[in-house]
Structure 1
Amino acid sequence: MLLAFSAHLYLWRITVKLKFLLSAILGISLLGTALADDLDEIKKRGTLVVGVTSDPPFAQLDTKKQTYTGYDVDFAVAIAKQMGVKVLIKDISTADRIPKLQAKDVDVVIATLTKNAEREKLIDFSYGYFVTGQKFIVHKGKIKAIEDLTNATIGTISGSTSEKQLRREMPHAKVVLFPGPDQGFVALGKGEIDAFSTDEPILAGLYNKMPNKNDFEIPNASVSLEVYGIGMRKGEKRLVDEVNKIIVGMEQTGEASKIFERWFGPNSTIPLTRLFKINAK
């Protein structure tokens, strides 16, 4: 009887120890899963999935080669190379930039995404990698200063920061929304709006493609300063730190300025002056 009891007690202790050990192992396994983040997933997959928008010269599809080129694309390629992974470019709409990121359809968004307090509640940003101003394209000779647009009918892209800036800074103007800049330019050409507004390099790129561009101009009137950042999911600190380290390094080696010169230098179709540097400030 005593022997049977001792055997039962021994088996009970072994069972408790096994349960404890199993719980510890599962706990470690679950902990390991919880600690895995986007940077780990990207490196494990071997591919960085980048969302861009078709806004030349930031991103555009080469229909012959079926590959994307542009300022944003060059940054995507450079970041993936520094991470030691391949890059996969996905074309997404302006309105879908943050939703696609939050839904994990892309790892990062490099798509003329302006940094602001509202968006920083939803996603995390890298340091600014491009700085520009929001301007207007109008019929030549009609606008000399931004005050001339106070009561104008102005087109812009729906859901963009340009829309928010216009409504905030020009409350008396009538804002007309379009899904993209191409539709806005058509409306401008037909005289349905007085001006179309978005960031200067996007305006300049579209302006250069207009068949009647000599009838229009981009006056030196800016409604805001826009800083573009690379968007990442909220709380992905390691990925944000990695991207920041890479783009600051690109600034230090001169790679960032070379990309700018390629798309906005004096020999480009959209010559702009680079008035910024990529840094932590």
Structure 2
Amino acid sequence: MKKLAAMVVMGLALVVTAKAAMAAPPADTLAEVKKKKVLVAGVKDSLPPFGYVDEKTREIVGYDIDFVKAIAKKLGAKLELKPVTSASRMPQLTEGNIDIIAATMTKNPERAKQISFSHTYFFTGQKFITRKGAVRSLRDLEGKKIGTAKGSTSEQNVKKAIPSATVLSFDDYPQAFLALQQGKVAAVTTDEAILAGILAKAPNKAQFEIPKVQISEEPYGLGMRKDDTKFVNFVNKTILEMEKSGEAKRIFDKWFGPGTPYHLQRTFRITADK
């Protein structure tokens, strides 16, 4: 009986070890992607124009997607897209389910302790969507309910900027905007470029606005596993080349330029971070 019990325990241990080995992320993502010829990117799928499902093609498209497409092409790899949320994207990366995050992710010191970031490939600032004429300054939001997304820097920034406000965190920004439309919150807060995307798609957009009230600067980086140096260097080299060739600006103009509903100015260039 003891022998049988020992064999069962040993068998279970082997299964657990095998599963752990399967789930473990590669030590060298660059080599692994080149070997598999597949790059798996975690992206948003309901956040135009960064990442959303195109109604005609049913494919995920957007600014973030075009950047990882360019990186996959440079690697000679097929691009596989996996939808993530603000809360799930870092766990998905560290657990080895994705190779890179391209999902409107702000670079900050806290996150940089857990993952590595590329050079800044998009730059924006955190603002609000409100009912038209309702907000002129931060004071107008004191003591009010404000919606944002779980696991986002927006969540932390607004708590610091307006301590008296009640922050309601939703799974994603479209849900937060729905709460604003229903009168459950007085404002939705996140990065201006994301807010512009949400507002552009709203059927009743004339009722809302993005006031000139900014509470932070938000540099976006592509996220990779900590100390995955070869892959980080490859990605950085690629996006610097995209800036130099004009491809990065063409991608920006495609999604944010004069021919789009967003009309944002490109106030940044991709440079090597200091």
Fold shared by both chains (TM-score > 0.5):
yes
Amino acid in structure 2 at the alignment position of 1:191:
G
Query: Cα distance, 1:75 vs. partner?
Result: 0.2
Match of 1:69 among 49, 61, 83: 61
Amino acid in structure 1 at the alignment position of 2:28:
D
- When structure 1 is superposed on structure 2, of 197-206 and 223-232 the one drifting more is 197-206
Partner deviation per Cα, 1:237-278 (whole Å, 9 max, x = no partner): 000000000000100000000000000001111110100011
Query: Gaps (5+ residues) in structure 1?
Result: 1-34
Aligned position for 2:34 = 43
Match of 1:236 among 228, 232, 249: 228
Secondary structure, aligned partner of 1:133: strand
Query: Cα distance, 1:109 vs. partner?
Result: 0.6
Mapped partners of 1:216, 1:133: distance in 2? 19
TM-score by length of 2: 0.87
Q: How does 1:108-147 map to 2 (within 5 A)?
A: 108-147=100-139
Mapped partners of 1:275, 1:113: distance in 2? 18
Secondary structure, aligned partner of 2:176: helix
Q: Is 2:59 the partner of 1:59? A: no
Amino acid in structure 2 at the alignment position of 1:198:
T
Identity of aligned residues (%): 47
Amino acid in structure 2 at the alignment position of 1:232:
M
RMSD across aligned C-alpha pairs, in angstroms?
Answer: 1.3
- When structure 1 is superposed on structure 2, of 141-150 and 257-266 the one drifting more is 141-150
- When structure 1 is superposed on structure 2, of 175-184 and 147-156 the one drifting more is 147-156
- Structure 1 runs, 4 residues or longer, greater than 6 Å off: none
TM-score by length of 1: 0.85
Query: Cα distance, 1:233 vs. partner?
Result: 0.5
Q: How does 1:1-281 map to 2 (within 5 A)?
A: 37-54=28-45, 55-281=47-273
Mapped partners of 1:147, 1:249: distance in 2? 44
Query: Cα distance, 1:92 vs. partner?
Result: 1.6
Partner deviation per Cα, 1:188-239 (whole Å, 9 max, x = no partner): 1121111111111111111122222111111011111101100000110000
Query: Gaps (5+ residues) in structure 2?
Result: 1-25
Aligned position for 2:13 = none
Mapped partners of 1:179, 1:38: distance in 2? 29
Note closer, same or farther for the CA distance 1:66–1:140 as it changes in structure 2 (3 Å cut): closer
